[in-house]
Amino acid sequence: MSQPPESTTAAAEFTNAEAVLPTTGTGEPPRWLVLLLAVSCGLTVANLYYAQPLLSSLRQVFGIDAATAGWLVTISQIGYALGLLFIVPLGDRVENRRLVTVLLGITTVSLVVAGAAPGFAVLLVAVLLFATTLVVVQILVPFAADLAPGHIRGRIVGQVMSGLLAGILLSRTLGSLLAEATDWRVVYLTSAGLMAALALVLRAALPTRHPSTGVPYPELLRSTARLVRQHPALRRRALYQATMFGAFSAFWTTVSFVLTSAPFHYNQLGVGLFALVGAGGVVVAPLAGRWADRGLVRPMTAAALLTAALAFGLAGVGRHSIIALGAAAILLDMAVQTTLILGQHVIFQLDPDSRARLNSAYMAIFFLGGALGSQLASTVYRADGWTAVATLGAALPTAGLLLWATERRPRHPVQPELQLRG
């Protein structure tokens, strides 16, 4: 007997999703659950960024140069990308609450190893391990998308992402303050305790979300690759975000070197307080979700790419002004958050039963861009200082804007819920 076409088989497999998800009388998910998901994402993803403001201190502790210290950021992003490629697709195959609990357990153990690391090599290995498991946040974001009806999906995802982005931005400040008051090791050991507590809370509070497919793991990975080939919008949105996250990583990987040098000579506390300025950009996340729901994905994408490039122009010209650097940080963070949420709004509409795999591909591609951006920034900073970093940072979103200009517009107006183009 002949086999059904691959696409038909896949469709049959992917339409078996069953989720026991609580909603309010209006069909919206309860606010406490959205808040829990937002806080969970923020606390978890913060572990990726604690090291950025600590790089100057770690250089002294381990006796390494700036480029070597920059590998700590690069290896964390590589680990995260590996987790996105090989772990996040399991979100469509394994019951999500159980998967989240196991991943956070591994995160806790590896954070303890990082906090007790006797040398820089051990720290790198520990960071690679916990970065790989931190992709639990990219299981929770599609979970939030499943909770929401289509007409408010952008808003709900935006609310959850605001927690994630707050974690990214506030982690630098909190890490700096804790390291200044105690020691850099306490940062990782404290986070280990938080992750252990979070695992228990999510295990008790998350509703059941049954798998949407039962295909074997190798086929699951192959289906993720097929989704990339199948959906041009996924490829475009991932590449836009790769340029943006490369610029974001370039800025935050090297700005601590600028702030601890002339004319600022900031200590660890000063670097942490500067990082707090960038957290002002988190206010754009809910707005980006609403823009997406209104069908403004394309124009706001261009605006965000242009804003990021201009932010680096401001950072380069005003490199001796803390006000200029602070304004550049806010503009850059707002722009990156906008394109991230717009992109997720687009890809989550492509195939509702494959959201974990779509998010896996999307996030993996742009985190590889972030890893490249951080390492290039460390290298060019050592070679030619902050001006070279600013040039690199402006060039990346400019490349994304040029790619955006080649995108074909839809011939006929479409409703926001059906607007799939990036």
Residue 209: predicted pLDDT: 77
Which percentage of the chain shows pLDDT scores above 90? 46
Q: pTM of the entire structure?
A: 0.74
Tell me whether residue 12 is in a domain: no
Tell me whether residue 330 is in a domain: yes
Read off the amino acid at residue 67.
A
Contact 50/102 with Cβ under 8 angstroms? no
Confidence of residue 162 (pLDDT cuts 50, 70, 90): confident
Whether the predicted pLDDT of 190 surpasses 50: yes
Phi, psi dihedral angles at 159 (to 5 degrees): -65, -45
Read off the amino acid at residue 236.
R
Longest alpha-carbon distance in the chain: 76
Whether the predicted pLDDT of 22 surpasses 60: no
3-class secondary-structure state, position 216: coil
Our count of domains for the chain comes to: 1
Tell me whether residue 114 is in a domain: yes
Tell me whether residue 415 is in a domain: no
- Could you give the CA distance from residue 299 to residue 271 in angstroms, rounded to a whole number? 34
- Give the pLDDT confidence of 266-303 residue by residue, as tens digits: 887 788 788 777 777 777 878 888 899 899 999 999 99
Residue 244: predicted pLDDT: 97
Residue 7: predicted pLDDT: 36
- Could you give the CA distance from residue 339 to residue 299 in angstroms, rounded to a whole number? 11
Residue 282: predicted pLDDT: 73
- Could you give the CA distance from residue 87 to residue 90 in angstroms, rounded to a whole number? 6
Tell me whether residue 215 is in a domain: yes
**Enclosing domain of residue 114:** 29-409
Residue 9: predicted pLDDT: 35
Residue 14: predicted pLDDT: 34
- Give the pLDDT confidence of 232-265 residue by residue, as tens digits: 999 999 999 999 999 999 998 899 889 988 899 9
Contact 332/308 with Cβ under 8 angstroms? yes
- Could you give the CA distance from residue 64 to residue 51 in angstroms, rounded to a whole number? 15
Which percentage of the chain shows pLDDT scores above 70? 90
Check residues 404 and 80 and name the one with the higher pLDDT.
404
Tell me whether residue 405 is in a domain: yes
- Could you give the CA distance from residue 58 to residue 275 in angstroms, rounded to a whole number? 18
Mean pLDDT of 326-337: 93
Tell me whether residue 219 is in a domain: yes
What CATH number did the domain enclosing 296 receive? 1.20.1250.20
Tell me whether residue 212 is in a domain: yes
Whether the predicted pLDDT of 105 surpasses 50: yes
Mean pLDDT of 407-417: 55
Whole-number average pLDDT of the chain: 85
- Give the pLDDT confidence of 48-85 residue by residue, as tens digits: 888 877 887 888 889 888 778 888 888 998 898 899 88
Confidence of residue 27 (pLDDT cuts 50, 70, 90): low
